[in-house]
Structure 1
């Protein structure tokens, strides 16, 4: 070999580098798949919140507009039934309005969960606040359901008279409001389950 000749040696790519590419691609694909199903959960969460807003506000508005005046009355007496005659129904209207307002305010956090499905903070916050709202919703619905039951059936032991035979429209409205409130309770249960599913480690 002469000193003027140059020798070129082809060095193959390092096996360590070549081997390192496959695991990196696998990790990226795994993160994308994980983010994909979490984004789907977040979208379903957003749709459920829209439905819960409708049911909660419908319950509050239906109860808040429930009143009926009987056609027979005298100069001194007028027979009327209204939601504000009973503190339980007043509490129901206030509680369901608060629940509906909270659900509206929670929509931006639900959108953040769609954009960033891996973010845990918004999910934990929604999980805690949804649990509080579920408690308020359930207490209002249960208390109103007890009064509606008495309005339909009465209680002879305590001389509570059933009034739904006379105030049919009033009872229809308050019963519908209670049903809508319990639908909202079921939606909240699904929302809490979805949040717990989204924040758990795979």
Structure 2
């Protein structure tokens, strides 16, 4: 009888010890998950703010280029020289591309909000990473091509006898140059967005 009592006591003691260790392990795991979720939520909030800033940059670039129009005053109304964005296919492509970029950024805001509400969800981040990379290429191509034309407008090309027109069309060149600068700012924002999405996915 004494041996049986001893066995029962040892079993009860080991069982209570296991019960005492279980809550400690559970608390440590919960604390780690909470800290990771807070970090990812902070990254998602920064992602949302960057998208808002990129929307402004892309919209300003498209609107500025779209309104770049200047007519030189002359003595008669029958002889006028006019410069507008629609005179150059590159600038037309720029307006269309930057409008697409701005529209995409607006549509991506709900997905960015989802990553804030559910910081551990990988699917929305992966979708944003793929789409951001594709739109980044479109943004960079539009900005680069428009920058080349703006450079020719400012400096010309002596080898091909292309004369600079910015001495005559100053307002036109100022607006187109401002649009190009704004588009490159959007490129910087997109690059940061892609890096943030990659970092957030790596931590999963």
Match of 2:189 among 167, 187, 190: 187
- Gaps (5+ residues) in structure 2? 1-8
How well do the aligned residues superpose, as a CA RMSD in angstroms?
Answer: 1.3
Give the match for residue 17 of structure 1: 19
- Residue 201 of structure 1, CA deviation: 2.9
Residues 82-106 of structure 1 show CA distances to partners (whole Å, capped at 9, x for unaligned) of 0000000000000000000000000
3-state SS of 1:158 partner = coil
- For each residue in 1:90-129, what CA deviation from the matched residue of structure 2 results, as whole angstroms up to 9, or x when unmatched? 0000000000000000000000000000000000000000
**133-142 or 69-78, larger mean C-alpha shift:** 69-78
Which residue number in structure 1 is paired with residue 40 of structure 2?
Answer: 38
- In the other structure, the counterpart of 2:5 is none
Give the structure with the higher percent helix.
2
* C-alpha contact 1:148 1:174 (8 A) present in aligned 2: yes
Q: How many residues align?
A: 193
- Normalising by structure 1, what TM-score? 0.92
Partner of 1:178: 180
Aligned to 1:99: 101
TM-score, normalised to structure 2, is 0.92
> 1:77-116 maps to which residues of 2 (within 5 A)?
77-116=79-118
Cα-to-partner distance string for 1:148-200 (whole Å, 9 max, x where unaligned): 00000000111111000000000000000000000000000000010011111
Structure 1 residues 35, 73: CA separation in 2 closer, same or farther (over 3 Å shift)? farther
